[in-house]
């Protein structure tokens, strides 16, 4: 008996642990079966995916289904039934239960595959499957990967690992709240399995624990163990979903010393409006959240991804504005405004009338309006989120955004003005290149009282991000003229930057720009001057060497030349 196990990931770098869990359960119950694993993506050409599946010559097909691949999977299932009327088609996963209009003869598995009884496997072997099977609740589970999987199925992909299942919270919009409680694995077993994964030097391990720091001492033990493993100079990145209020002092002290680029945290803030949080069964001590995130952000060694959800109950445009402003002030590296998904089976899906929730009838069930946000208001905020996604969540405008934050400018108002510029230029229909984004920001600057400084910041960010040639939207002195000026002005030897023999190479490799004193002060370069001194202008050389910034970004190495001053290396 040959069985094809199939899923469609959102992108190639992802992997699907459920597929391996199903493989293991089938291998144990039906050891004589031949199992084929396929991890496609939702962006793959449809017909190619279909014929690769039918090319297996299998008669049994198992699909892992979730909201992002449900429609693609439904199309495959319908065509498989047309091509192979007698094929056995089995669907499992969080979305399988709610798929409508399945072709006749399909089988749906609810719950965790580890909890399936012998009747499912017996019926599968006999060819007498029923329409539905349900796994027992809260079965034991373990890592699903085999030694051969790392080369055959996981190479160059994120590796997903769960040290616990369940969530201590009961957020009404989340499927994790359907079953209460958290199941924790034994630490010795977790460490053994992680050691096996780390032996293959993966680039990223993503812990899928819904709230990794729910037990602070346990989380700290695992973090310490991970960083103590031999060979960790290989720089595996560890991703964790965390609750921002659940850090204790010992954890914060430890995390401040974590090497750059080793940890990244996904933080579900969702909203700062207490009425909204109460409506979805969540409570937050906002003061503690702000303090903890401030301490996490200060060392710049951990990438912080902060989530807001648009369309939650009792969230008005005014309260969402406050949430965005407060989230921006926390200085995360990535700030995401996601739409509420009204998932079937969740508590909130049964409260649609109470909250006036209107959502799409097909996956991913995105909210369209609420009692507090009509569709026009939600649409405006959605495009604001898309504007923020484009302009905030990249490495291009680090100093410009930092200036806005330090200057006390209201972020919601700034991005609302920028959105108007973007929509007038049909920005969202175009490829969002760095040059186009800068054009939008330069256009916005025309109405700003700090226009000159703002445009200088954009020009500085353009060069420090790795670009060599200034686009037409920047009016500035050509780099060649500044380079020639400095060539005649600077000494023949300037250690450690160049010697007499390497002087030509230094000037050949560098991109040179002149900046005003206010700009130099804003980006921290004026610190290279002696105390009490100031410079009306200064010169910056951007070298090709890349260096780490904030643990995850890369920027060009900078050498600063104050007017009539020696060069200063800028870290």
Residue 420 lies in a domain: yes
Residue 378 lies in a domain: no
| Cα–Cα dist 466/468, whole Å | 7
In a shared domain, residues 123 and 163: no
The span from the CA of 182 to the CA of 251, in Å, is 21
User: Same structural domain for residues 213 and 271?
Assistant: yes
- Measured between alpha carbons, how far is 463 from 234 in angstroms, rounded to an integer? 30
pLDDT surpassing 50 at residue 307 = yes
The enclosing domain of 165 has a CATH number of 3.20.20.70
Rounded distance between C-alpha atoms, residue 35 and residue 55, angstroms: 14
Q: Per-residue pLDDT tens for 204-216?
A: 999 999 999 999 9
Helices (H) and strands (E) in the chain, counts: 20, 20
Q: How far is CA 431 from CA 191, 390, 426, 427, in A?
A: 44, 11, 11, 8
First to last CA, the chain: 62
Q: Report the DSSP pairing between strands 303-310 and 263-270.
A: parallel
Tell whether pTM > 0.85.
yes
Q: How far is residue 109's CA from residue 63's CA, in Å, rounded to a whole number? A: 10
- My answer on whether 243 and 96 are in the same domain is no
Structure tokens at 126: 């006999």
Asked whether residue 73 falls in the same domain as residue 100, the answer is yes
What letter does residue 357 receive in the DSSP assignment? Answer: -
Closest CA to 436 of 452, 422, 447: 422
Whether residues 430 and 306 share a domain: the answer is no
**Statement to judge: residues 130 and 164 lie in one domain:** no
Q: How far is CA 445 from CA 49, 453, 488, in A?
A: 48, 9, 35
- pLDDT at res. 570: 52
Torsion of CA 312, 316, 318, 324, to 10 degrees: 10
Cα distance between residue 511 and residue 508, in whole Å: 8
pLDDT band at 231 (very low <50, low <70, confident <90, very high): confident
Q: How many domains does the chain have?
A: 4
309 forms beta bridges with 338
Q: What does the pLDDT read at residue 550? A: 52
**Where does a domain end: 438, 471, 504?**
471
Domain that includes residue 220, residue range? 158-339
Convert the pLDDT of each residue in 431-485 to its tens digit.
999 999 999 999 999 999 999 999 999 999 999 998 989 999 998 888 899 999 9
Whole-number pLDDT of residue 563: 60
How far apart CA 393 and CA 386 sit, in angstroms, is: 10
Q: Give the pLDDT of residue 98.
A: 84
**Contacts of residue 345, Cβ cutoff 8 Å, sequence gap at least 6:** 97, 98, 175, 178
Q: Locate tokens 């409680």: which residue?
A: 181
Co-location of 222 and 238 in the same domain: yes
Residue 174: exposure state from Cβ atoms within 10 A (0-12, 13-18, ≥19): buried
Going by the DSSP 8-state scheme, the letter that residue 57 receives in this structure is: -
Are residues 541 and 562 located together in one domain of the fold? yes
- Bridge partners for 554 per DSSP: 548
pLDDT (average), residues 359-379:
96
Mapped onto helix, strand or coil, the DSSP state of residue 9 is strand
Taking residues 508-531, report their average pLDDT: 82
Those residues whose C-beta lies under 8 Å from the C-beta of residue 247, and which sit 6 or more positions away, are 213, 216, 255, 292, 296
Whether the predicted pLDDT of 565 surpasses 90: no
Quick check: 92 pLDDT over 90? yes
26 and 40 fall within a common domain: yes
CA–CA separation, 301 and 390 (whole Å): 23
- Spell out where 444-534 has E strands: 511-516
Query: What local confidence, expressed as pLDDT, does residue 519 receive?
Result: 93
With respect to residue 254, please indicate whether it lies within any of the assigned structural domains.
yes
**Of 174 and 101, the one with more pLDDT:** 174
Residue 437 falls inside a structural domain: yes
Query: 360 in a domain, yes or no?
Result: no
Asked if residue 180 is part of any domain, the answer here is yes
User: What is the longest distance spanned by two Cα atoms in the chain?
Assistant: 87
**Residue whose C-alpha is closest to residue 310's, from 351, 267, 370, 352:** 370
Contacts of 143 (CB under 8 A, 6+ apart): 161, 193, 196, 197
- Domain check: are 113 and 88 in the same one? yes
- Distance between CA atoms of residues 437 and 440, nearest Å: 5
Is the same domain home to 63 and 104?
A: yes
Q: Are 92 and 18 contacting, i.e. CB atoms less than 8 angstroms apart?
A: yes
**C-alpha distances in angstroms, 50 versus 74, 207, 339?**
12, 31, 31
Is pLDDT above 70 for 530? no
Burial (0-12, 13-18, 19+ Cβ within 10 Å), 32:
exposed
Q: What is the pLDDT of residues 41-84, one digit of tens each?
A: 999 999 999 999 999 999 999 999 999 999 999 999 999 999 99
User: Looking at the domain assignment, is residue 38 inside a domain?
Assistant: yes
Residue 428 domain flag = yes
Residue 370 phi/psi, 5-degree rounding, is -140, 175
Same domain for 307 and 399, yes or no, is no
């Amino acid at each position: 008996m040959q069985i094809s196990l199939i899923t469609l990931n959102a992108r190639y770098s992802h992997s699907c642990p459920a597929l391996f869990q199903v493989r293991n359960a089938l291998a144990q119950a039906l050891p004589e079966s031949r199992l084929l694993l396929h991890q496609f993506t939702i962006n793959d050409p449809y017909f190619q995916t279909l014929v690769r599946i039918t090319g297996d010559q299998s008669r049994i097909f198992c699909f892992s289904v979730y909201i992002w691949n449900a429609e693609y999977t439904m199309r495959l299932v319908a065509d498989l039934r047309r091509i192979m009327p007698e094929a056995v088609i089995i669907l499992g996963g969080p979305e399988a239960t709610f798929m409508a209009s399945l072709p006749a003869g399909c089988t749906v598995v609810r719950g965790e595959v580890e909890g399936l009884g012998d009747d499912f496997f017996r019926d599968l072997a006999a060819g007498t499957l029923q329409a539905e099977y349900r796994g027992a609740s809260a079965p034991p589970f373990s890592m699903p990967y085999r030694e051969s999987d790392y080369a055959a199925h996981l190479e160059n992909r994120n590796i997903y690992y769960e040290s616990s299942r369940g969530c201590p919270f009961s957020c009404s919009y989340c499927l994790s709240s359907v079953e209460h409680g958290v199941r924790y694995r034994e630490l010795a077993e977790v460490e053994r399995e992680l050691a096996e994964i780390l032996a293959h030097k993966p680039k990223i391990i993503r812990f899928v624990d819904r709230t990794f720091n729910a037990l602070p001492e346990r989380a700290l033990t695992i973090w310490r163990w991970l960083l103590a493993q031999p060979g960790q100079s290989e720089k595996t990145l560890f991703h964790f979903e965390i609750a921002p209020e659940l850090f204790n002092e010992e954890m914060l002290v430890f995390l401040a010393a974590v090497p750059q680029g080793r940890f990244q945290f996904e933080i579900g803030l969702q909203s700062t409006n207490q009425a909204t949080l109460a409506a979805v069964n969540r409570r937050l001590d906002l003061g503690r959240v702000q303090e903890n995130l401030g301490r996490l952000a200060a060392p710049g060694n951990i990438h912080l991804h902060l989530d807001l959800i648009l369309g939650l109950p009792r969230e008005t445009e005014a309260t969402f504005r406050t949430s965005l402003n407060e989230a921006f002030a926390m200085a995360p590296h990535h700030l995401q405004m996601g739409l509420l998904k009204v998932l079937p089976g969740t508590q909130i899906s049964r409260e649609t009338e109470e909250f006036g929730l209107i959502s799409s009838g097909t996956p991913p069930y995105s909210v369209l309006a609420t009692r507090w946000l009509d569709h026009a208001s939600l649409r405006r905020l959605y495009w604001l989120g898309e504007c923020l996604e484009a302009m905030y969540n990249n490495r291009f405008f680090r100093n410009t955004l930092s200036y806005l934050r330090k200057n006390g400018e209201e972020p919601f108002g700034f991005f609302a003005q920028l959105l108007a510029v973007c929509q007038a230029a049909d920005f969202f229909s175009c490829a969002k290149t760095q040059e186009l984004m800068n054009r939008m920001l330069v256009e916005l600057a025309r109405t700003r009282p700090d226009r000159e400084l703002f445009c200088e910041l954009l020009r500085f960010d353009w060069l420090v991000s790795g670009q060599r040639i200034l686009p037409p939207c920047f009016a500035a002195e050509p780099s060649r003229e500044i380079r020639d000026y400095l060539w005649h002005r600077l000494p023949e030897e300037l250690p450690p930057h160049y010697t007499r023999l390497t002087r030509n190479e230094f000037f050949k490799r560098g991109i040179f720009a002149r900046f005003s004193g206010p700009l130099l002060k804003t980006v921290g370069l004026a610190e290279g001057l002696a105390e009490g001194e100031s410079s009306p202008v200064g010169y910056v050389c951007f070298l090709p060497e890349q260096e780490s910034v904030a643990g995850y970004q890369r920027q060009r190495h900078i050498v600063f030349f104050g007017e009539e001053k020696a060069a200063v290396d800028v870290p």
